[in-house]
Amino acid sequence: MNSDLLVSIVIPTKNSAGFLESCLKHIRLQSYSKIEIIVVDGKSTDNVKELAMKYKCEFYTYIPKVKRGIFDAPHKRNYGMGKAKGEYVYWLDADMELPKGLIMEAVNLCKKGADAVILPEDSYGVGIWAKAKQLERRCYWGDDSVESPRFFKKSVWNSIGGFDLSLGAGGDDIDLTQKLLEKKYTIKRTKSTVRHNEGNLSITKLFKKRFMYGREMTNYLKKRPKSWFSSYNPLKGSYFKHWKLFLQNPLVTIAFIIMRTIEYFAGFLGMIFNYL
* Whether pLDDT at 170 is above 80: no
| Mean pLDDT in residue range 15-24 | 96
Entry field: residues in the chain: 276
Task: Return mean pLDDT, the chain.
Answer: 93
Closest CA to 123 of 142, 110, 136, 114: 136
Least confident of 85-94, 125-134, 216-225: 216-225
Least confident of 21-25, 68-72, 164-168, 242-246: 68-72
Which domains, from first to last, does the chain contain? Answer: 7-274 (3.90.550.10)
Contact indicator for 61, 133 with CB cutoff of 8 Å: no
Question: Which pLDDT score is estimated for 70?
Answer: 67
Least confident of 40-49, 69-78, 116-125: 69-78
| Mean pLDDT in residue range 203-224 | 90
Question: Which pLDDT score is estimated for 4?
Answer: 84
**Which amino acid makes up residue 212?**
M
Kindly write down the DSSP assignment for every residue of 76-145, as one continuous string: HHHHHHHH--SSEEEE--TTEE--TTHHHHHHHHHHTT-SEEE--EEEEEESHHHHHHHHHHHHTTT-TT
Closest CA to 145 of 259, 229, 268, 266: 229
| Mean pLDDT in residue range 202-212 | 94
pTM across the whole model: 0.93
Give the model's confidence band at 269: pLDDT under 50 very low, under 70 low, under 90 confident, else very high: very high
Closest CA to 13 of 92, 97, 130: 92
